[in-house]
Amino acid sequence: MDPSSFAGDRDAALRASGGTAGGARDLGSGLGGGLGGGLGGGPSRDSGSGGHRPTEINALLGRGTHFEGKLFFEGRVRIDGSFRGEIRGEDVLVIGEGAMVVGEIHVGTCIVTGGEVQASIRARDGIELYAPSRVTGALHAPAIFIDRGVQFDGSCKMAPLEEPATALPADEGPRPELSTLPLIVPGKPADEPA
């Protein structure tokens, strides 16, 4: 990915993630409209080209809110409060100023515009870290952007995520009829009739 596709300025990142430099939050603004269309090169839904980027927030964990456990989501989620646990989703996770996230993150795109993250972050499309974020952990994504002023302590692996080994092949061939399966009785050899 061409580094020039990232907007290195904090105001653009805040606008794209639903916030503004003045601190007010526009929760309806779309991710992907800024930042050169977002990581992964995919168009946004608001571009009218049928892209996969959500433009509205499906869930918000606001300031002063604390959550511990597992979060599974579709669409766009923003965390401005405290979260400890596992986060999984195919779309966009935005971690805002004042947030504290500890655990594991597996998402489509992860954007950290402030706050503190102590987690391994795996993102299918990309990871964006903007100042004044503090991030500790391992990052793994095909595209990673770290803004000047971000405090980062960890490792980066910039490569596509491996597909899960648990995926079944699409066509396993014909399945045997139940009557053709051998009957196995405990204590008897398999070739002896039951």
Region 161-172: mean pLDDT is 52
Do 124 and 52 form a contact (C-beta atoms < 8 A)?
A: no
Total-model pTM: 0.62
The confidence band for 186, taking pLDDT boundaries of 50, 70 and 90, is low
Annotate 146-170 with DSSP letters as a single string: E-TT-EEEEEEEESPPPPPTTPPPS
The confidence band for 188, taking pLDDT boundaries of 50, 70 and 90, is low
How high is the pLDDT of residue 191? 58
How high is the pLDDT of residue 55? 61
- Please check the confidence at residue 19 and state whether its pLDDT lies above 90: no
Region 83-98: mean pLDDT is 96
How high is the pLDDT of residue 77? 95
How far is it, in rounded angstroms, from Cα 73 to Cα 76?
A: 8
How high is the pLDDT of residue 173? 54
Higher pLDDT, 1 or 83: 83
The number of helices, as runs of H, and strands, as runs of E, in the chain is 1, 10
The confidence band for 162, taking pLDDT boundaries of 50, 70 and 90, is confident
* Prior bond of 132 cis (ω within 30°): yes
How far is it, in rounded angstroms, from Cα 179 to Cα 183?
A: 9
The pLDDT tens digits of the residues spanning 21-75 come to: 433 333 333 333 334 334 433 333 333 333 344 468 888 999 999 999 999 999 9
Region 111-129: mean pLDDT is 97
Name the nearest CA neighbour of 18 among 82, 162, 114: 114
